[in-house]
Structure 1
Amino acid sequence: MVPPWAVVSAAPAIPCVPSELGLRDRVISLYGTALRKQGLRSGMRNEDPKPRDPYLLGSLRKGLELLDCFARQETWSLAELAAELGQTKPTVFRILHTIEEFGYLHKDPVTGRYSLAMRFHTLGSAAVRHEQLRWQALPPLQDLARETGETVHVGILYDGEAICVQAVDGTRLIRMHAFVGKRTPAHASALGKILLAHVPDAELDAFVSRGLSRFTPSTIIEPAALREALHQIRANGWGMDDEEMEVGLRCLGAPITDHSGRPCACVAVSAPAARMDPQRIATLTPLIKATAARISRMLGSPSMSDGTSRAA
């Protein structure tokens, strides 16, 4: 008896005809080429295989993709960018014109080629400064937190708010928790008031014109009272939030100055009001000012040893 497999194996094999395979491969190749070309024309080359995020702005995404090109090559023509991005020239021109209008790109009047403008250098320098501040401030903050047992943090002023850029929690059981990115209205925080004390008059006027919201019974909401408090901060070289943002919480801080000697940030210690009595404030103030001066020196500031700035 012949085994079944022998019968199957004895069946004639289907011949592989080279001409048929060649035709099939050619059709597939041509179809793939057509798809790729269609993808380039419709901008599919930059499509993400993940589901589209409904919150992404398509026009802004195209603008950012265009700007990314300048990280690979210093100057671009309109035609080069259109080919690189797989977009039409009119679309790319509108993006270029908008970005140029806002000062982020420069168009050479002779060659017509585009390059990054000085506004990008300003933004880049600011990003580097803030990142430098974050990591250079960390060791001094850790030392201050160990010495005081309290939560310490560094903040900058942005659009009327004090923003925490570095923080070290204290060791006490009851303590304030600070975190990077925390925002506080400038007029109700030590960080914010200390930095507001050194802004130009026009900037302070614009800030006050927005109105001063109340958060606790101690919050300063009168423009004249705020200006007087800022004057006192400049005179003392340090400032305090006396339960102005949270009842039961006090914060004491001093300015950090940059390479020009101007205040660019602030270091502060926060603690429950019960632990921040006048005697403790007198003890903490020189420690905080010394820490601010230490960070300032790291940033290249011509600050004096007591933490006050020559430009203050």
Structure 2
Amino acid sequence: MKSVTRSLRILEAVAQHQPVTVGELTKLFGLPKSTVQRTLVTLAEAGWLRANRRDTTRWEIGARVLAVRPAALQGSGLFVAAREPMIRLRDAVNETIHLTVPDALQCMVVVDRVDCDHAVRTYHAIGDTSPLHATATGRVILAHLPRQDVEELIARGLERFSDTTPAEPGELRAELDRIREDGYALNQNQYRLGVCALAAPVLDAGGAPLAAVAVSMPDSRFDADRVREWGDLVAGTAAEITGRLLSA
């Protein structure tokens, strides 16, 4: 039982301090380095942790934690508040609707989805993750975070996924300014080629971003002339979800 408790404490510490080294965890818990290393490897083998892609000496939360989190949200106020507005948005545009939440500054996680009836449609499984800077859902979150958080993300480096990914700091900052002005974000082939999306933020009482709701479609059905229409619809849906949360 002690080993289980130790593993859970180390898992929690990684979640709080990620990406974190074995040495940092050793100092934090006062445990032998070999014990911490063995625990990390065991958790990684089970999918709860993973080595950081940029620095393999550092550890971070793995895919299994991200997959469990959406299931835990199924009965949450966010899930309940968002479900009906998402269905109405799907009915209005007949495209796939996603609800995502930020995992700190690490990624966005899909927690709910309402499918359209097109034979060809976009698809993200519950628990799927995506980068903040390259997606519409991620950028509407960034647009409502403190500037220091945005600068921290930029300092880590912005990976380019396509020719149009906003991977230059100035380009990303300008895009976030536009999102704050328009109330929604647009992603046109900036993360996955052939996929377009528009997203808007769900906010708490203090204006901090809790989640993002998005309409997603294949590039073949994207119509630049309808961007404002779609943007207003998704922003209205996000505002409704925010209102339902605040009045609950």
Q: 2:233 and 2:5 mapped to 1: Cα distance?
A: 50
Give the counterpart letter for 2:231 in structure 1: T
Is 1:213–2:129 an aligned residue pair? Answer: no
Q: 2:97 and 2:155 mapped to 1: Cα distance?
A: 31
Displacement of 1:179:
2.4
Report the equivalent of 1:299. Answer: 245
For residue 125 of structure 2, give the secondary structure of its aligned residue in structure 1. coil
Q: 2:155 and 2:136 mapped to 1: Cα distance?
A: 20
Report the equivalent of 1:131. Answer: 76
Report the equivalent of 2:49. Answer: none
Give the counterpart letter for 2:177 in structure 1: H
Q: 1:130 and 1:205 mapped to 2: Cα distance?
A: 34
Q: Classify 1:63/1:241 alpha carbon distance in 2 versus 1 (closer, same or farther; 3 Å).
A: closer
Is 1:150–2:104 an aligned residue pair? Answer: no
Aligned residue pairs total: 188
Is 1:238–2:191 an aligned residue pair? Answer: no
- Is the Cα contact below 8 Å between 1:168 and 1:178 reproduced in 2? no
Displacement of 1:290:
1.5
Report the equivalent of 1:310. Answer: none
Q: 1:153 and 1:181 mapped to 2: Cα distance?
A: 11
TM-score by structure 2 length? 0.69
Displacement of 1:166:
1.4
- Is the Cα contact below 8 Å between 1:169 and 1:178 reproduced in 2? no
Give the structure with higher Rg (CA).
1
- For 1:153-302, what aligned pairs fall within 5 Å after superposition? 153-158=98-103, 159-300=105-246
Deviation string for 1:101-136 (max 9, x for gaps)? xxxxxxxxxxxxxxxxxxxxxxxxxx8799221232
Q: Which has the higher contact order (CA 8 A, sep 6+)?
A: 2
Displacement of 1:257:
1.4
- Taking only aligned residues, the RMSD between alpha carbons, in angstroms, comes to 2.6
Q: 2:8 and 2:129 mapped to 1: Cα distance?
A: 30
Q: Classify 1:258/1:129 alpha carbon distance in 2 versus 1 (closer, same or farther; 3 Å).
A: farther
Q: Classify 1:153/1:225 alpha carbon distance in 2 versus 1 (closer, same or farther; 3 Å).
A: same
Higher strand share: 2
- Is the Cα contact below 8 Å between 2:143 and 2:176 reproduced in 1? yes
Q: Classify 1:164/1:130 alpha carbon distance in 2 versus 1 (closer, same or farther; 3 Å).
A: farther
Question: What runs of 5+ residues in structure 1 fail to find an aligned partner?
Answer: 1-45, 48-56, 65-96, 99-126, 302-312
Q: 1:268 and 1:212 mapped to 2: Cα distance?
A: 22
Q: 1:162 and 1:62 mapped to 2: Cα distance?
A: 23
Q: 1:148 and 1:139 mapped to 2: Cα distance?
A: 15
Q: Classify 1:63/1:227 alpha carbon distance in 2 versus 1 (closer, same or farther; 3 Å).
A: closer
Q: 2:207 and 2:8 mapped to 1: Cα distance?
A: 40
- For 1:92-103, what aligned pairs fall within 5 Å after superposition? none
- Is the Cα contact below 8 Å between 1:154 and 1:166 reproduced in 2? yes
Q: Quick one: percent identity of the two aligned structures?
A: 32
Question: What runs of 5+ residues in structure 2 fail to find an aligned partner?
Answer: 11-27, 30-71
